[in-house]
């Protein structure tokens, strides 16, 4: 079995800049309103390419799918799930992508957890990949 390892070195960013970005992203997400499966931006425009498939917007268990390229409905092979959404405690998202390619189906699951959006203390990213029907790799 082939194994790949990659190290990413991240340059530090100013703390105020990072905190500001996290708050801005939370503010933007919370300003979006759900009308059934459709999501609307604060100015009333439809949010392109993202549909609410299950649950209440930004509540644990809410599931979102991107829209198919032809606009025919949700692409169920890609799912974004809200695991937690609480500015003071934790924000957690899971992204799952399925590839049904007959030559080598694959799955990828990414989980991002952020402790306290109001004052970020810890971020964790976990990625699992399964290629060609093999075992999951973390």
The pLDDT tens digits of the residues spanning 52-109 come to 999 999 999 999 999 887 777 777 789 999 999 999 999 999 999 887 666 656 788 9
Find which of 11-15, 25-29, 120-124 is predicted with most confidence, using mean pLDDT: 25-29
The CA distance from 68 to 43, in Å, is 24
The CA distance from 132 to 41, in Å, is 39
Question: What contacts 107, CB < 8 A, 6 or more positions away?
Answer: 96, 97, 98, 99, 128, 129, 130, 136
Q: What are phi and psi of 137, to 5 degrees?
A: -120, 130
Q: What is the pLDDT of residues 34-43, one digit of tens each?
A: 998 899 999 9
The CA distance from 44 to 86, in Å, is 25
Count CB neighbours of 82 within 10 A. 20
Confidence label for 26 from pLDDT (cuts 50, 70 and 90): very high
The CA distance from 30 to 59, in Å, is 11
């Amino acid at each position: 079995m082939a194994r790949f390892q990659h190290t990413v070195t991240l340059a530090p960013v100013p703390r105020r800049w990072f905190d500001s970005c996290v708050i801005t992203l939370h503010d933007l997400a919370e300003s979006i309103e759900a009308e059934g499966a459709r999501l609307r931006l604060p100015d009333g425009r439809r949010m392109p390419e993202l549909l609410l498939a299950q649950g209440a917007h930004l509540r644990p268990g809410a599931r979102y799918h991107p829209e198919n390229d032809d606009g025919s409905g949700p692409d169920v092979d890609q799912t974004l799930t809200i695991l937690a959404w609480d500015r003071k405690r934790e924000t957690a998202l899971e992204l799952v992508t399925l590839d049904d390619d007959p030559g080598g189906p694959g799955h990828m699951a990414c989980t991002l957890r952020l402790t306290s959006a109001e004052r970020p203390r810890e971020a964790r990213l976990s990625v699992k990949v399964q290629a060609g029907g093999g075992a999951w790799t973390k």
